[in-house]
Chain A
């Protein structure tokens, strides 16, 4: 059975303090790894798709990387508006999608 584990569960950062979120996975044939951002009271918003080890994607202060066992979401010089819960999901060779429980990031000004 596919498993997705995100760590830490919660992360408190000072504005400008860069950090990384981890998404470890075991999956039967990875077809894609997805990152989403979820704000309180809203649905998840798509950020990135990564398909193979070594791939990287960037968007503003966010950078996602992928290895054969895990993905990292790097937040560079975060701002308070980066506060959210970040979700990771993996899609297996049978097209089944499994989500992690998320990392809640709080950035203080």
Chain B
């Protein structure tokens, strides 16, 4: 199994649909993240979980709802999305922080979301 696996790879949904994105990491990491990537813009942090506890919610609209049932799995539940939410959604994991600084993020290949 590769390090961080995201499903589905592509998702097209209408504005009234409800769907979920799934992420699984096989690296034994303590922290998991959701990022949004839009064309020609920096990665935007959405949510952070450390040891299954949400430690950061970066002013994300409530139509995005994260869930972290254990340290290996992360979900992003979507409902009533807007066309401007179309983007690549990336999941990442990391070991956490050491005395020198943060350990690097390991990313999945993302879910390409299109909202129609």
Which residues of A does B touch, CB under 8 Å? 4, 9, 31-32, 34, 36, 41-46, 49, 51, 87, 89, 91, 95, 97-102
* A34 and B104 form a contact (CB under 8 A): yes
With A51-B100, A95-B97 known to touch, is A46 a contact of B105 (CB < 8 Å)?
yes
Question: In terms of DSSP, what is the predominant structure of the interface of chain A?
Answer: strand
Closest B residue, CB atoms, query A87 = B43
Known: A49-B101, A100-B42, A102-B42. 14 other contacts (CB 8 A): A31-B100, A32-B100, A36-B107, A41-B109, A42-B110, A43-B110, A44-B43, A45-B107, A46-B105, A95-B102, A97-B45, A97-B102, A99-B43, A101-B41
Task: From the candidates A32, A44, A45, A100, name the one contacting B102 in the complex (CB within 8 A).
Answer: A32
| Bound: A58/B109 CA distance, A | 25
With A97-B45, A99-B42, A100-B42 known to touch, is A31 a contact of B107 (CB < 8 Å)?
no
Determine the chain B residues whose CB is within 8 A of the CB of A51 once the complex forms. Answer: 100-101
With A43-B107, A46-B105 known to touch, is A101 a contact of B40 (CB < 8 Å)?
yes
How close is B80's CB to chain A, nearest CB, in angstroms?
27
* B107 and A91 form a contact (CB under 8 A): no
* B42 and A101 form a contact (CB under 8 A): yes
Determine the chain B residues whose CB is within 8 A of the CB of A45 once the complex forms. Answer: 107
